[in-house]
Chains A and B, each alone.
Chain A
Amino acid sequence: AQSVSQHNHHVILSEAASLELGCNYSYGGTVNLFWYVQYPGQHLQLLLKYFSGDPLVKGIKGFEAEFIKSKFSFNLRKPSVQWSDTAEYFCAVKGTYKYIFGTGTRLKVLA
């Protein structure tokens, strides 16, 4: 069965700390991978996506993610977080037509 696992449900960091959020997926075919962010009270917005090519993908606001096929992982990273990064982060995998989202990671950045 297709699935996406996000291991960290809640993360609290101080400003300037480095961030890595884990995402593992289970899917048998060609996948497209996404990270979305949901700021408090807002709808989801795309941070970055991977579908082919360079496995290190750079997105908006200094975020990046690395696709490791052998580990079925697509972890999100940011070298130095800011208070404004406080949000919920969702990893998603897309097959032919269906999307599967992870359960989300709530990040709180302390000023």
Chain B
Amino acid sequence: EAQVTQNPRYLITVTGKKLTVTCSQNMNHEYMSWYRQDPGLGLRQIYYSMNVEVTDKGDVPEGYKVSRKEKRNFPLILESPSPNQTSLYFCASSLPGTGPYEQYFGPGTRLTVT
């Protein structure tokens, strides 16, 4: 089954404790992206990757890191989480980023930082 998976689905952590949210897709997609969803703000793009070893900032990259060492994986790293990063996070993938291709979304990771 074609899908985007994220782990963990739920995470409660404390301020400053480094964490990684994993994202994996099995569709051989070149483009992958991370979003955060907050009430009243919709989805905002954090980082995206056009292909392996090629990443760029979205609209809200502060406090996040990403890496794309393999085509299928695109982990999101919070080096020092803060309460304002409490949010619902979605990973997505699609065919090449320059085309009119829709994104396929993962199930989401609900992160709470206390």
* A residues with CB within 8 A of B: 6, 9, 32, 34, 36, 42-46, 49, 51-52, 90, 92, 94, 96-104
Across-interface contacts of B48 in A (CB, < 8 A) = 97-99
With both chains docked as a complex, state the minimum distance between the C-beta of A65 and any C-beta of chain B, in angstroms: 13
With both chains docked as a complex, state the minimum distance between the C-beta of A55 and any C-beta of chain B, in angstroms: 14
The 4 A-B pairs with the shortest beta carbon distances in the complex, nearest first, are A51-B100, A103-B42, A101-B43, A32-B100
**Contact A103:B97 (CB < 8 A) given known A43-B107, A46-B102:** no
Cβ A43 vs Cβ B43 within 8 A: no
CA distance A90 to B44 in the complex (A): 12
Q: Find the A residue at minimum CB distance from B41.
A: A103
Cβ A43 vs Cβ B106 within 8 A: yes
Chain B residues with a Cβ closer than 8 Å to the other chain, count: 25
Q: Find the B residue at minimum CB distance from A34.
A: B102
* B residues with CB within 8 A of A: 31, 33, 35, 40-45, 48, 50, 56, 58-59, 90, 92, 97-98, 100, 102-103, 105-108
With both chains docked as a complex, state the minimum distance between the C-beta of B76 and any C-beta of chain A, in angstroms: 16
Q: Find the A residue at minimum CB distance from B31.
A: A97
Cβ A99 vs Cβ B42 within 8 A: no
CA distance A22 to B50 in the complex (A): 30
With both chains docked as a complex, state the minimum distance between the C-beta of B1 and any C-beta of chain A, in angstroms: 14
CA distance A99 to B92 in the complex (A): 11
Cβ A44 vs Cβ B50 within 8 A: no
With both chains docked as a complex, state the minimum distance between the C-beta of B23 and any C-beta of chain A, in angstroms: 12
Instruction: Please list 29 pairs of residues, one from A and one from B, whose beta carbons are closer than 8 Å in the complex, sorted by A's number.
Output: A6-B42, A42-B107, A43-B105, A43-B106, A43-B107, A43-B108, A44-B43, A44-B92, A44-B103, A44-B105, A46-B103, A49-B100, A51-B100, A52-B100, A90-B42, A90-B43, A97-B31, A97-B56, A97-B97, A97-B98, A98-B45, A98-B48, A98-B59, A99-B33, A100-B59, A101-B35, A101-B43, A103-B41, A104-B42
